[in-house]
């Protein structure tokens, strides 16, 4: 049971039932802490947190957390913002902007790249942590290898390489890195702290991950779908699963926090996630970062069904680098979009309700109940919004 030390930074009376569910779930959490924030119509309705950020420190209002693949949704919003400025056309081939990508496919579009269709979900050669955190080097390795399938014909989740590929594309288009663009286009306008590559001066505020049930390698036969699916998470040697959440190792390693891994190492708060997504779908203190027209094509359902790895359903629905509402993940309405993150993180927006939410936790839960803590909060929020 977690020492909850609950803090209600803000709770609108309408959403009191949601705060109570958060408190109940936090009390049942086996370790660590968590935070949840909800915006509706540009206003903060709920901002709660509690538990422990590390064995020595309680989760505070300025505790930062690595948000894993929630980062992907924010990167997709950055790419969409660049497209909205007419600096990039999602329907054009990636090779138009990144000539070396033609070796992978001269025809694969920017849209298809962000839909996980490139066939570069995992490296064929092992990457070290140093290589994984070097966008240009990792991207050059990926585009030089034989794709895992014919690009565009199938899809499979690019768990970490998504960041290398999207990051290199953005650099070729703008001359700026993803960390720079995230700050310029989302974090600074929203007035929040959010980084891909945290400054060393903020390192002591990052929550330490704990995993009550540590991840284990699957030891699948080389070349099997299970082998490639695991390799998409480890990059071969960079992030061994059995050390992923050990103190000072894997995703508890300050080097990883302070580097660029744009598919998985965004660091912010639940409030930061919710506020950035709020600016995407509605004016939030006068700031709006994407138009409804851009959201319409960004959140168009494009990918579902079994991936190249052949997983059994139900399946997620995906759009332009974002996860969408589906039978597997109902969210707030059919107009919800954003991304979840390993171990139970979440960051989504909803166009119908002009709402956004963020959930972070340093207690890594995997398996069928991975996302239950925040999906229960979303289900309760949905009932209130639709009442």
pLDDT along the chain (387 residues), means of 10: 68 96 95 98 98 95 98 99 98 99 98 99 98 98 98 97 99 99 99 99 98 90 95 96 95 98 98 99 99 98 94 94 96 98 98 99 94 97 97
**How far apart are alpha carbons 76 and 298 in whole angstroms?**
8
pLDDT recorded at residue 4: 59
pLDDT recorded at residue 3: 56
pLDDT recorded at residue 9: 83
The torsion of the CA quartet 64, 69, 74, 80, rounded to 10 degrees, works out to 170
Instruction: Look at the block and give the residue holding tokens 């803090």.
Output: 7
pLDDT recorded at residue 194: 99
CATH class of residue range 7-70+187-220+243-301+316-385: alpha beta
Strands 355-361 and 195-196: unpaired
Picking from 9, 58, 14, 7, the residue whose alpha carbon sits closest to that of residue 32 is: 58
Q: Where are the domains of the chain?
A: 7-70+187-220+243-301+316-385
**How far apart are alpha carbons 117 and 177 in whole angstroms?**
23
**How far apart are alpha carbons 102 and 59 in whole angstroms?**
47
pLDDT recorded at residue 5: 65
Whether 171 and 177 have beta carbons less than 8 Å apart is answered as yes
pTM above 0.75, yes or no: yes
pLDDT recorded at residue 215: 87
């Amino acid at each position: 049971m977690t020492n909850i030390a609950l803090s209600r930074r803000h709770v609108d009376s309408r959403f009191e039932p949601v705060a109570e569910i958060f408190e109940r779930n936090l009390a049942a959490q086996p370790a660590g802490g968590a935070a949840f924030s909800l915006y509706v119509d540009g206003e903060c309705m709920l901002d709660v947190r509690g538990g422990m950020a590390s064995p020595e420190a309680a989760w505070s209002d300025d505790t930062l957390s690595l948000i894993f693949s929630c980062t992907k949704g924010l990167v997709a919003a950055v790419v969409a913002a660049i497209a909205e400025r007419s600096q990039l056309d999602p329907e054009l081939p990636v090779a138009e902007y990144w000539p070396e990508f033609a070796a992978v496919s001269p025809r694969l579009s920017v849209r298809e790249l962000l839909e996980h269709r490139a066939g570069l979900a995992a490296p064929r050669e092992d990457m070290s942590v140093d290589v994984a955190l070097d966008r240009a080097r990792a991207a050059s390795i990926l585009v030089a290898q034989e794709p895992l399938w014919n690009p565009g014909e199938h899809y499979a989740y690019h768990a970490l390489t998504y960041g290398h590929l999207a990051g290199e594309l953005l650099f070729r288009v703008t001359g700026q890195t993803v960390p720079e663009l995230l700050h310029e286009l989302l974090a600074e306008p929203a007035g929040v702290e959010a980084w891909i590559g945290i400054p060393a001066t903020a390192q002591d505020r990052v929550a330490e991950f704990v995993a009550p049930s540590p991840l284990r390698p699957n030891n699948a036969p080389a070349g099997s779908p299970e082998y490639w699916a695991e390799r998409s998470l480890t990059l071969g040697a960079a992030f061994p699963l059995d050390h992923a959440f050990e103190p000072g190792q894997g995703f508890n390693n300050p080097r990883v926090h302070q580097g660029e891994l744009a598919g998985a190492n965004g660091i912010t708060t639940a409030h930061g996630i919710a506020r950035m997504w709020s600016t995407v779908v509605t004016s939030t203190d006068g700031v709006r970062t994407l138009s409804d027209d851009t959201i319409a094509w960004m959140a168009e359902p494009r990918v579902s069904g079994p991936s190249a790895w052949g997983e059994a359903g139900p399946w997620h629905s995906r759009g332009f680098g974002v996860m969408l509402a589906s039978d597997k993940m109902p969210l707030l309405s059919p107009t919800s979009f954003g991304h979840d993150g390993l171990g139970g993180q979440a960051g989504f927006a909803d166009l119908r309700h002009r709402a956004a939410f963020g959930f972070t936790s340093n207690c890594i839960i995997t398996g069928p109940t991975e996302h239950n803590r925040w999906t229960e909060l979303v289900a309760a929020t949905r009932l209130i919004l639709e009442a």
